[in-house]
Amino acid sequence: MNLQNNTKIQNIELDLFKIELASVGFINSKFSLTPIRKGIANTAFKLKLDSESSPFFVKFFSSAGADRQDRKAQYRLQCNLAKKGLAPNAIYLAKNTSFQIDEWLGDRFLESKNITDVEVIDILSYGLSSVHACGILHNELPLINDWKHYLDIAPTDDEKLIERFEVCETIWCNSPKKILCHHDLALSHIRLKPNLKIVDWEYAALSNSAYDIASTVLANDFDNDSATKLIHAYAMLNGKNEKELLDEYIYMLQVATLTYDLWHRAFLQTSKID
C-alpha cells in the first residue's frame, strides 16, 4: 500500500479503510491512495488497485463537519442520478458512512480562470436546469432543522441573527419544495467531457429553483452582476419569466445566506473542538 505524500486522512483511521475494503475483496496490498484536493469539510483521493488498473474516486467525510446528512439516502440518490447520466456511478459506501468510492471522472476540475465568464454562466445554468428537470424524487430539504442543529453546535444571543432566523423560517415554511436541487453547485463540481456529470451530492434534496440558484451564487462567490446573468440564462433555458425569477431569487438569497452563515459558524466551532 502506498499513501502518496503521506497525507493524513482527517478523522479517519487508514487501517479501518484498509480492513473494510480488504474484507469485501476490493483492495489488496498493491493499492495506492493519492490526495487530489481538500475541501472545507471533506478530503478527496484517487484510489488505484494496482499500477495497471483504472482509478476510483474516494471521498472521506470529515467528522469535524457541522452536517448530519443521511449518507445512505444520499448514496441511493446518487445511484439513481447515475442511471440518468447526471452523476458518477457510486461504487461503495463505508459501513459507518465515513467514506465513499465513486467512478473516476478524471482529476481536471473546471476552474473559472480557465474559461470565460460567459461560459461559466452557461455551464452553471445548464447544470442547474439539468438537475431540476431530472424528475427524481427525494426527501425535502430539512432546512429549519438544519439551522437549529447548527445553532445547537454554536449558540448565539445575537439579536440580529435570531431575527434573521425568524424571518427566514417564515419564508421557508411558505416556499415550494417540489424539485430536486443540488444546493452546492460550485463550478468545480461539474464535468463536461465526454458529457455533463455533476459531483458532490451531499446536500441534494427537494426544494425550489430560486433557492438552488441562490445557493449556487454563494457557492461560486458571485457578485450581483454575475448573479443577474445566471438568472437570465436559467430563465431563458427554462422558459421562465425573468423578472419573477429575479424576485424569487432575492427573496431566497436571504435564506441561503442564513444557511451559509450558520453552517460556517457551526463548522468553525466543531473544528475547534476537534
Cell of 110: 473546471
**Model pLDDT, residue 273:** 57
Residue 53's alpha-carbon distances to 10, 47, 109, in angstroms, are: 26, 10, 22
Mean pLDDT score, 242-250: 98
Backbone torsions φ then ψ of 148, nearest 5 degrees:
-65, -40
Locus of grid cell 489488496: 28
Instruction: Provide the edge-to-edge strand list for the sheet that holds 2-3.
Output: 2-3, 32-38, 42-48, 56-61, 99-103, 90-93
Q: Which domains does the chain have, with CATH numbers?
A: 2-103 (3.30.200.20), 112-273 (3.90.1200.10)
Question: pLDDT (tens digit, 9 = 90+) per residue, 1-58?
Answer: 444 443 445 444 577 888 899 999 998 888 888 888 666 667 888 999 988 889 999 9
Q: How far apart are CA 176 and CA 255, in angstroms?
A: 14
pTM of the model: 0.91
pLDDT digits (tens, 9 = 90+) for 103-156: 999 876 777 777 999 999 999 999 999 999 999 999 999 999 999 999 999 999
